Amino acid sequence: MLYPYEIIEVKPKLNKKKVFFVAFILLAIIAISVFGVLQIAYQKKQQEIERAQIEEQAKLEEQRRQEEERLRIEEEKQKRLAIHTNPFTEEQMQAVENIYQAQETKRVFLTFDDGPTQAVTPYILDLLKQENIKATFFVLGNRAKANPELIQREFEEGHYIANHGYSHKYSQIYQNNQTVLDEYNYTEQCIQEALQNPNYHSKVFRFPGGSQGGYYHSIKKQANQYLRQNGIVSLDWNSLSKDAEGVNTKEELLQNVINTIGQKQSVVILMHDAADKILTYETLPDVIQYLRNNGYEFKNLYDIL
């Protein structure tokens, strides 16, 4: 006989409380996870915004700094141009004439004659730029005419362009007062053309061979006064490397500078940037080092005008 089976579905007895609890825990975990992810994403976004703001501020700051620097350079250039545009006052002339007088602090003026030349001048300019030193260049008219871009560079980089005559031929220059002034004027014209500035007047002349002594001493002496009457002041030097006198080692050049500086407080050093004076450039770092070590401050003519 068959017993009908009673199929009893044994339903697991669900504990509703337990299920609810587990579901709650799961939901809580999911909620916390979602919240955590959102939180991280939010923080990340905030950091990105902050970073972008900082970058933007830095960019603005850099732009402001560059603009300030540009204005400073422009202002300084205008000051220099004003010195060249206006005639010298008596005080300005005397400041050049009294350049060797001792000051409260030691000072040195680096001066370079007979350039500019492609062979030497650019290297000297690079070095002066690197060392942040402004010098004075007594240029020759014929060199200025041949190398206008170097004249422009000298001026743009804050150096003083002064006048050393056109030909550098003593017999030609030192015929009389007028031939000296003619050499000066013609060279001024060459500088003006190179700078494309008809208002540039250097007003400082260095006599080739110096303003005193030698065969042409008396004519130079007269011409010096004649130039001054025409608003032009002459400047020699009180130290030199003898780079134009056949010295051919760096050590000798440096030693000549050291010897001729001696104990002087205000020094004008004569050097040359003519085409054959690469040794002058090669010695210049040592000269600069010596001067720095001995407490000299580098100046150019703008600083005393």
Nearer to Zn ion, 64 or 169 (CB): 169
Nearer to Zn ion, 6 or 245 (CB): 245
Cα separation, 189 vs 251, whole angstroms: 38
Of 116, 155, 148, 118, the closest CA to residue 134 belongs to: 155
Q: Which parts of 86-120 fold into alpha helices (H)?
A: 90-97
Q: Which parts of the chain fold into alpha helices (H)?
A: 16-85, 90-97, 121-131, 141-146, 148-156, 170-173, 177-195, 217-229, 250-261, 278-293
Q: Which amino acid is at 21?
A: F
Q: Report how many residues bind Zn ion under the rule CB under 5 A.
A: 3
Beta bridge partners of 110: 269
User: What sign does the dihedral 235-141-87-156 (CA atoms) show?
Assistant: negative
Among 110, 112, 114, 120, binds Zn ion (CB under 5 A): 114
Among 107, 113, 120, 121, binds Zn ion (CB under 5 A): 113
Among 108, 208, 266, 271, binds Zn ion (CB under 5 A): 208
Nearer to Zn ion, 107 or 159 (CB): 159
* In the complex, least distance from residue 169 CB atom to Zn ion, rounded to whole angstroms: 11
* In the complex, least distance from residue 113 CB atom to Zn ion, rounded to whole angstroms: 4
Specify the stretch interacting with Zn ion by CB under 5 A; choose among 50-58, 112-120, 230-238, 278-286: 112-120
Verify binding: residue 141, Zn ion, rule CB under 5 A. no
Q: Which residue is nearest to Zn ion, using beta carbons? A: 113
Of 191, 222, 224, 192, the closest CA to residue 205 belongs to: 224
Specify the stretch interacting with Zn ion by CB under 5 A; choose among 4-12, 95-103, 203-211, 294-302: 203-211
Per CB under 5 A, residues contacting Zn ion are 113-114, 208
